Amino acid sequence: MITSERLTKRYGDKAAVSDLSFTVAPGKVTGFLGPNGAGKSTTMRMAVGLDTPTSGRVLVGGRRYGELRHPLRSVGALLDARACHPGRSAHRHLLGLARSNGIPASRVGEVLETVGLTEVAGKRVGSYSLGMGQRLGIAVALLGDPEVLLFDEPVNGLDPDGVRWVRELMRSLAGEGRTVLVSSHLMSEMQETADHLLVIGRGRILADAPMDEVIAGSSLTAARVRTPEPEALERELLRRGLRVDRDGGLEPGELVVVGATLREIGDLAFTHRIPVHELSMRRASLEQAYMELTADSVEFGSPALSPLLDTPTTTPKV
């Protein structure tokens, strides 16, 4: 379990993290999302003692990182995959960490096997590709067989096979009852991986809820109903305080209802003897829900593309 209590970090007059309180529960993958500069890495760095909070605290398994006798055996973290001497081999790097943390040397071979680096374990880390470096960073996190794992953008630089491997690894670590906190900007990947989401923007919490709840909260998640009596159904839905949409490309007799489950709509129609010919849910994607949530918190927004980019000025050569 990770517990953050009113965690705050200021750099000069800039608040990187402001009064963050949350709990990351074991047995689940918790996705840590937020725009660039939102404070995700700073929060993770404070959890593993690489940064000191200005105020508040963050506990791992009920303790501050500095109080842990063998930190790697309690919490493993992939924060910066390049934080490793380039002239050293992966095997030597892991062995050094194992020795200084009271971890048996036999564990080095195990984690190298888990991350698929056994064959290149004797090579200089400086010669590793981006993806191999990520795998080594994950091996370091797993080395102490810890209960709590933090991964800052673990799929960075991985090929599709590697991305799928990371997804399965996160899910199996959570399945073993561990606490897994993982940050990523890849929303479609996160939608496949995480059970719970912690979304922050400008150092503050925007959402702390199960994945399904975050998606259900999007205005783009809505039920579609087809009925021969749309007026009657609309009247009853509005009476319940639900949002009903009847325009915008809908066919006659079609309604879109926001904020209600299919069961509520079906039961309501049944109670009022309104026939329903079709009832289905249109779920927003995590990306759509995320964009709505963070719309006011994006610090480094992307400008609209210049018209030059979509109007070719030269004829492409064939």
Ligand X SMILES: Nc1ncnc2c1ncn2[C@@H]1O[C@H](COP(=O)(O)OP(=O)(O)OP(=O)(O)O)[C@@H](O)[C@H]1O
294 binds ligand X (CB under 6 A): no
- By CB under 6 A, name the one of 40, 91, 107, 178 that touches ligand X: 40
Let me know how long the chain is: 318
129 binds ligand X (CB under 6 A): no
CB 45 → ligand X: shortest distance, Å?
Answer: 7
- By CB under 6 A, name the one of 36, 100, 129, 188 that touches ligand X: 36
| Summary count for the chain: helices (H), strands (E) | 12, 13
16 binds ligand X (CB under 6 A): yes
31 binds ligand X (CB under 6 A): no
Indicate the residue among 41 and 221 with the shorter CB distance to ligand X: 41
Indicate the residue among 4 and 41 with the shorter CB distance to ligand X: 41
Q: How far is CA 213 from the centre of its chain?
A: 14
* Angle, helices 160-175/130-142, rounded to nearest 10 degrees: 10
- By CB under 6 A, name the one of 1, 3, 27, 37 that touches ligand X: 37
Buried b (16+ CB within 10 A) or exposed e, 252-269: ebbbbbebbeeeebeebb
Beta pairing partners, 75: 148
Which among 37-45, 219-227, 231-239, 242-250 is the span making contact with ligand X, rule CB under 6 A?
37-45
Indicate the residue among 32 and 165 with the shorter CB distance to ligand X: 32
Spatial separation of the C-alpha atoms in residues 215 and 213, rounded to whole Å: 5
- By CB under 6 A, name the one of 30, 41, 179, 193 that touches ligand X: 41
38 binds ligand X (CB under 6 A): yes
* Angle, helices 262-271/230-239, rounded to nearest 10 degrees: 110
Which among 38-46, 91-99, 141-149, 304-312 is the span making contact with ligand X, rule CB under 6 A?
38-46
Do the beta carbons of residue 5 and residue 57 sit within 8 Å?
yes
28 binds ligand X (CB under 6 A): no
Indicate the residue among 218 and 294 with the shorter CB distance to ligand X: 294
Per-position DSSP letters for 102-168, written without gaps between them: T--THHHHHHHHHHT-GGGTTSBGGG--HHHHHHHHHHHHHTT--SEEEEESTTTT--HHHHHHHHH
39 binds ligand X (CB under 6 A): yes
E strand or H helix that includes residue 274: none
| Sites for ligand X among residues 90-119 (CB under 6 A) | none
- By CB under 6 A, name the one of 20, 30, 31, 34 that touches ligand X: 34
Beta pairing partners, 147: none
Indicate the residue among 11 and 270 with the shorter CB distance to ligand X: 11
Interface with ligand X (CB under 6 A), residue total 10
Spatial separation of the C-alpha atoms in residues 75 and 155, rounded to whole Å: 19
Tell me which residues touch ligand X (CB under 6 A).
Answer: 11, 16, 34, 36-42
